[in-house]
Amino acid sequence: MTLLAPSLQSYFTGHAYARKGLSPNTIAAYRDTWRLLIKYLTASTGVHADKIDLGMIDAEAITTFLDHLEADRGNSASTRNARLTAIRAVLAVTLPDHPEHAGTIARVLAVPTRRGTPRTVQFLSVEETQALLDAPDPNTWTGRRDRALLTLAIQTGLRVSELTALTTNDIHTGTGAHVTCTGKGRKYRATPLTSITLTVLTPYLAERAARPGAAAFPGPRGQHLSRDALERRLAKHVSTATEHCPSLGGKHVTMHTLRHTAAMRLLQAGVDVAVIALWLGHENTSSTDVYLHADMTIKQAAIDRTRDPQVTPGTYTPTADVLAFLTSL
Instruction: Give DSSP secondary structure letters for 144-192.
Output: HHHHHHHHHHHHH---HHHHHH-BGGGEE-STT-EEEEE-GGG-EEEEE
Whether 318 has a pLDDT exceeding 70, the answer reads: no
Q: What is the mean pLDDT of residues 70-93?
A: 93
149 assigned to some structural domain: yes
pLDDT exceeds cutoff 80 at 174: yes
- Judged by DSSP in three states, 224 sits in strand
Angle between helical axes of 255-268 and 296-304 (0-180°, round to 10): 10
Q: Are residues 204 and 169 in the same domain?
A: yes
- Look at residue 323 and tell me whether its pLDDT is greater than 80: no
DSSP string covering 60-126: HHHHHHHHHHHHTS---HHHHHHHHHHHHHHHHHHGGG-GGGHHHHHHHHTPPPPP-PPP------H
Overall number of domains in the chain:
2
pLDDT given for residue 295 in this prediction: 64
Based on the domain organization, do 216 and 298 belong to the same domain? yes
* Residue 324 forms part of a structural domain: no
Share of the chain above pLDDT 90, in %: 61
Residue 283 is predicted with a pLDDT of 74
305 pLDDT higher than 80? no
pLDDT of residue 285: 72
How far is 42 from 45, CA to CA, in rounded Å? 5
* Mean pLDDT of the region 292-303: 66
φ, ψ for residue 95, nearest 5 deg: -50, -50
Q: What is the rounded average pLDDT for all residues in the chain?
A: 88
Q: For residues 24 and 186, give the distance between their C-alpha atoms in angstroms, rounded to a whole number.
A: 10
User: Does 195 lie in the same domain as 162?
Assistant: yes
Question: With 90 as the cut, is the pLDDT of residue 151 above it?
Answer: yes
CA distance 263 to 295: 12
Which residues sit opposite 182 in a β-bridge? 188
Compute the Cα dihedral for 46, 52, 58, 59 and give only its sign. Answer: positive
Pair (64, 207) in one structural domain: no
Q: What is the CATH number of the domain that holds 249?
A: 1.10.443.10
Length of the chain: 329
In a domain, 100, yes or no: yes
Q: What range does the domain containing 161 cover?
A: 126-302
Question: What average pLDDT does this structure show over 3-14?
Answer: 88
Model confidence over 30-68: pLDDT tens digits? Answer: 999 999 999 999 999 999 988 998 889 999 999 999 999
pTM for this model (two decimals): 0.71
Taking residues 132-140, report their average pLDDT.
96
Q: How far is CA 302 from CA 142, 268, 286, 297, in A?
A: 43, 12, 20, 9
pLDDT value of residue 15: 86
Same structural domain for residues 144 and 281?
yes
The residues assigned a catalytic role are 159, 184, 256, 259, 282, 291
| Co-location of 140 and 286 in the same domain | yes
pLDDT tens digits, 92-125: 999 998 889 999 999 999 999 988 776 678 899 9
Q: What is the pLDDT of residues 189-224, one digit of tens each?
A: 999 999 999 999 999 999 999 999 999 999 988 999
* Closest C-alpha to 192, from 256, 278, 254, 267: 278
Residue type, 255: M
